[in-house]
Structures are given as C-alpha cells and as structure tokens.
C-alpha cells in the first residue's frame, strides 16, 4: 500500500538527496575524530564541522559561530539551557504548549532549585506575569500539538526590556520560519537537526548569544585544554563533551544547504498552503473537531479528533485502511491537552513537510471524510 507521511513534527521524511550524500561522506570520507588529532583526516573532519557551524551561524544570524555547540537533540540542548542557564530560586514564565523536553527540566528546577513557574497560553500574556524575581522566559516557538506560533520578535523585545534570559525551543520552527538571534533577541536557541532542518536523527545544537553564561550539565573530553580538571569555559568546548557526531553534523549542514537552495520563504509558503487547505476543508466536515493555533499564526501542524472514535483508533484506521501515517496521543505535551480540553482523549496530529503535496492533502481529507461517513 502506498503511504502518506504526515508525521513531520516527529521527524521530516524523506530527507533531501544531498543529506544522504553528506552522511555517506561523513562516515566514509570524513571518518576521523575531529579536534582529536592533527593528522589530515582529523583536520578534514574538523574543517567540515567548522563549515557547518558557519552555515548555522549565517542561517540564524549568529555573530560568532563558536557560540554554537552540537548536541544529540533539542532535548539535550534544552536541558543544557534550562538546567545550566536558569538561576536557582528564580521565577520563570513559560507556556502551556511546551513539550516535555522543556517541562521536565523546568519541573526539575521547580523541585530541586526553588524555581517557580508561571504558564501562559500565548506570548500576549507574558508581560503581565513578569515579577521582580522573573529571570527567564522559555518558549516553544511552534506547538507540536496544534501549531500555535508564538511571536518571538515580540517576546525578544519584552526580554530585552526586562533583562530576562530568552530561551527558545525552535524544534518545530527552525527551517520553516525565519529566526534571527539578533533581531529576536534570543539568548539561547535550542535546535533539533532532524525535523525541518532536514538532518538525520541524533543531532541538535544549542546557540548562545555572546556573553550568556551556562554551567555545563555534561563534562568530558574536549580534544583541547586536556590538562584542565573541569570542563573548559570556552565555547563550543563548554557544551561539547566527547566525540562529536560527524555524520549527523554534516547532514545538518546539507539540510541547511537544501533550505537555502529552495528558499526558506518558499518552504514556508508551500507548507502554509497545505495547512490552510487542510484546515479550510476540515472545518466543513461534520463530526471533526479541529484544534487550531491559539494565536493569529498557524504552523504546519494541527490536531483533530472525530466524534465517537478514540484518537489511537483513528490513527490506526488511517494507517491500515488508507496508508496515512500520523501520530495519536499526547505528543509529549500534556499541558497543551489540558489547555485544549483533550487531556483525557489525546488527539490525532497531522504535521506537514516540504515534500508533502496538495494531492496528498486532498487524499487525507477524503479519507477523513470517508471515516466520518461510516460512523
């Protein structure tokens, strides 16, 4: 059976051809340990990794590419940012649309570091919740449940005004919407490589604004500063302990090349057309409950339920009968479901990517309509 992949919020699929090639180069041509030796192969790997740092810096407008550290995934980046960057005893404002990769580190801070938390639905409620003890804002740029887009330029302005640390989870947004570390006044940008940036799984990054201080959560070999008994304070070594993921890093570089070649705006435009088409028609189908963005902008991910069918059953029917691949359940974002009124039911999530087509959207719409007619 032909399959229709609408689970791009989990991982983008397929990857561009150049990403496959970059991975192959990473494990064949550049298979040495970068920064760990002076021989030609290690230097070549190191150079390739430096090039990717430069690409990321340019893509997100980061002045000094050495302020970018590679991580295993956005979760690791967010742990580094939250556990290493938020002061003990401070007040933090975050949203109800955070993923567990933000919530669990924040609850750790609440339990262990006397941090107090305020949850808001959108960026519009941030300023009114600022207290004298507020030190940081942690925001999921685009909800992985209903596509709520937070206005990070506005949040950045608030953070600047009140001198707050701005930590951005860009897992769902990087590679879809323009992010500018300087313009948006972001202090810590947390990225995953394998979603809209088109890299493979196992690679992420954390980008610090110049001067932002973080205490490392992980420590280990850095290939340089070997005689120091603790982690070096210099970036990127500060946050890069152990052998880097050369193939993953190169895949991320190739993913950014792909985006630059197509054009970020064109990618966004395409995904927006798909999302609008999907939502517009679904609004006209009886028995379908849609869970849309809480702000004026909708990202390319949306949740729904069909009256009378469990979300997990619906996902199974879509898969087995129509070859439609979506995710059902809570999507690792429990508070979003409290907020949307789906805490007991979960939702079925459709998430679109650049490689989806309007025909695929229509196929999914027909399938959903078909299912509603049968119950």
Shortest distance in whole angstroms from residue 163 CB to a copy of itself = 28
Q: Residues 304-307: contacts with CB within 8 Å, 24+ apart?
A: 304/347, 304/348, 304/350, 304/368, 305/342, 305/345, 305/347, 305/348, 306/348, 306/368, 306/371, 306/372, 306/375, 307/375
Whole-number Å distance between alpha carbons of 276 and 7: 17
Of residues 106 and 159, the one with the C-beta less far from a copy of itself: 106
Question: Considering beta carbons, is residue 159 or 168 the nearer one to a copy of itself?
Answer: 168
Q: 3-class SS at 348?
A: strand
Write down the least CB distance from residue 83 to a copy of itself, Å.
Answer: 8
Whose Cβ is closer to a copy of itself: residue 263's or residue 341's? 341
Closest CA to 191 of 83, 356, 326, 53: 53
CB of 299 to a copy of itself, least distance (A): 18
Q: How far is the CB of 248 from a copy of itself (least distance, A)?
A: 5
The angle at the Cα of 113, spanning 202 to 111, to the nearest 5 degrees, equals: 80
Nearer to a copy of itself, 25 or 273 (CB): 25
The Cα 283–Cα 287 span in angstroms is: 10
Q: Is 112 exposed, middle or buried (0-12, 13-18, 19+ CB in 10 A)?
A: exposed
Nearer to a copy of itself, 76 or 187 (CB): 76
CB of 319 to a copy of itself, least distance (A): 5
Shortest Cβ 238–a copy of itself spacing (Å) = 12
By the 8 A CB rule, do 345 and 305 touch?
A: yes
Give me the least distance between CB of 53 and a copy of itself, in Å please.
Answer: 16
Q: Are 18 and 258 in contact (CB under 8 A)?
A: yes
| Cα angle 218-224-227, degrees, rounded to a multiple of 5 | 85
Nearer Cβ to a copy of itself, position 178 or 219?
219
């Amino acid at each position: 059976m032909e399959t229709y992949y609408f689970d791009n919020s989990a991982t983008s699929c397929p990857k561009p051809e150049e990403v496959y090639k970059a991975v192959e180069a990473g494990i064949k041509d550049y298979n040495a340990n970068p920064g760990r030796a002076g021989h030609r192969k290690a230097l070549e790997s190191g150079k390739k990794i430096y090039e990717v740092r430069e690409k990321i810096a340019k893509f997100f407008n980061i002045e000094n590419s050495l302020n970018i550290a590679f991580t295993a995934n956005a979760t690791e980046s967010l742990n580094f940012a939250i556990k290493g960057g938020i002061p003990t005893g401070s007040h933090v404002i975050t949203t109800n649309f955070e993923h567990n990769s933000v919530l669990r580190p924040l609850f750790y801070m609440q339990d262990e570091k006397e941090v107090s938390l305020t949850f808001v639905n959108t960026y519009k409620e941030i300023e009114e919740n600022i207290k004298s003890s507020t030190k940081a804002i942690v925001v999921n740029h685009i909800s992985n449940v209903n596509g709520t887009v937070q206005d990070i330029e506005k949040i950045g302005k608030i953070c600047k005004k009140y001198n707050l640390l701005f930590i951005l989870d860009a897992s769902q947004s990087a590679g879809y919407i323009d992010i500018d570390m300087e313009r948006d006044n972001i202090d810590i940008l947390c990225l995953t490589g394998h979603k809209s940036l088109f890299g493979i799984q196992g690679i992420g990054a954390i980008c610090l604004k110049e001067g932002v201080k973080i205490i490392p959560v992980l420590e280990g070999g850095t290939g340089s500063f070997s005689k120091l008994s603790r982690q070096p304070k210099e970036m990127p070594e500060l946050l890069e302990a152990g052998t880097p993921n050369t193939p993953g890093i190169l895949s991320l570089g190739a993913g950014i090349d792909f985006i630059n070649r197509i054009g970020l705006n064109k990618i966004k435009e395409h995904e927006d057309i798909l999302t609008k088409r999907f939502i517009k028609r679904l609004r006209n189908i009886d028995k379908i409950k849609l869970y849309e963005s809480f702000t004026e902008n909708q990202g390319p991910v949306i949740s729904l339920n069909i009256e009378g069918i469990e979300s997990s059953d619906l996902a199974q029917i879509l898969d087995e009968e129509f070859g439609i691949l979506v995710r059902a359940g809570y999507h690792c974002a429990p508070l979003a479901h409290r907020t949307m009124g789906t805490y007991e039911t979960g939702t079925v999530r459709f998430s679109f990517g650049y490689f989806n087509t309007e025909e695929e959207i229509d196929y999914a719409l027909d399938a959903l309509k078909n299912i509603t007619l049968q119950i």
